[in-house]
A = this chain, B = another copy of it.
Amino acid sequence: MKTVPLHNAKKPAVACNNCSLSELCLPRGLNSEELELLENSINKTVKIKKKDYLFHRDDKQHAIFAVKAGAIKTSLSTPDGEEQILGFYLPGDLLGFDAFSRDRHTCDAQALDDTLVCELSMDNFQELCGMLPVMRGQMMRQIGAEIEREQMLLLTLGQMRTEERLATFLSSLAERNKERGFSSTEFNLPMARHDLANYLGMAVETLSRMFSRLQEEKIIAVQHRLVKIEDPNRLKQLAHHTCRPASDAL
């Protein structure tokens, strides 16, 4: 890839200012009284250092989380140390719903960077569910979204070639950013190549080459972690497999 020194490649801020748990979790359907109730139930905002874990597989679920800044990855590991990243959670995303069916987490969650999450303890959550029927529906929808995300990833890993996989990923990241009110054509990748390659089931070198190829094809421009989408249509076309609007996380 051609390397143009880019001194002004400042990281755009990625903190999510309007992402209190209440807004994220229940965008509508609550009156102000209920909203206050929810706000008061949020225990605290927690700071997690880069590479620290938010939870481990088989941990008892004690809370659900909303990412406010930074990024979290969830992953599955084998006894012999191989891992498969299952998803990335960016500012505005909720996580912890993986544990809902058996009360223990099904995967590990690790911070990719210094990260801020606010947490709603399970006790409070259960209590809220009792008081606010909407809450239960919202929870189910979250679980459903996760299932669909994973199914899309299966399609990606099982059927696409590497270039298409990257195109799909970038396309849905752009979509997500748009929904969140960020730029859908220019953004920073919150994860290292290493992690993205793992997520997309390919070698780091291959991933790097695919970035370069998309750049050669004038579809994107890459400066390290900064991505500009030059031709959204051709990108979408490459990612033709996606059959449904992107859900929340990645």
5 intermolecular pairs with C-beta atoms under 8 Å apart: A78-B240, A78-B243, A82-B241, A86-B154, A102-B141
- Taking CB atoms and an 8 Å cut-off, the chain A residues in 190-236 that contact chain B are 198-199, 201
| Total number of A residues with any Cβ neighbor in B under 8 Å | 40
A183 at the interface (CB under 8 A from B): no
Contacts of A98 in B (CB 8 A): 147
Binds B, one of A15-23, A37-45, A123-131, A155-163: A155-163
- Taking CB atoms and an 8 Å cut-off, the chain A residues in 75-106 that contact chain B are 76-80, 82-84, 86, 98, 100-102, 106
Contacts of A157 in B (CB 8 A): 154, 157-158, 201
Of A142, A147, A198, most B-chain CB atoms within 10 Å: A147
Q: Are A106 and B144 in contact (CB under 8 A)?
A: yes
Q: How many copies does the complex hold?
A: 2
A150 at the interface (CB under 8 A from B): yes
6 smallest CB-CB distances across A and B, nearest first, come from A101-B144, A158-B201, A157-B157, A84-B155, A101-B140, A78-B241
Of A148, A155, A198, most B-chain CB atoms within 10 Å: A155
Q: Are B155 and A76 in contact (CB under 8 A)?
A: yes
Q: Are A101 and B147 in contact (CB under 8 A)?
A: yes
Contacts of A145 in B (CB 8 A): 101
Of A82, A98, A102, A154, most B-chain CB atoms within 10 Å: A154
A119 at the interface (CB under 8 A from B): no
Q: In this complex, what residue of B is CB-closest to A240?
A: B80
Known contacts A100-B140, A140-B101, A141-B101; A82/B151 CB under 8 A? no
Contacts of A248 in B (CB 8 A): none
Q: Are A78 and B155 in contact (CB under 8 A)?
A: yes
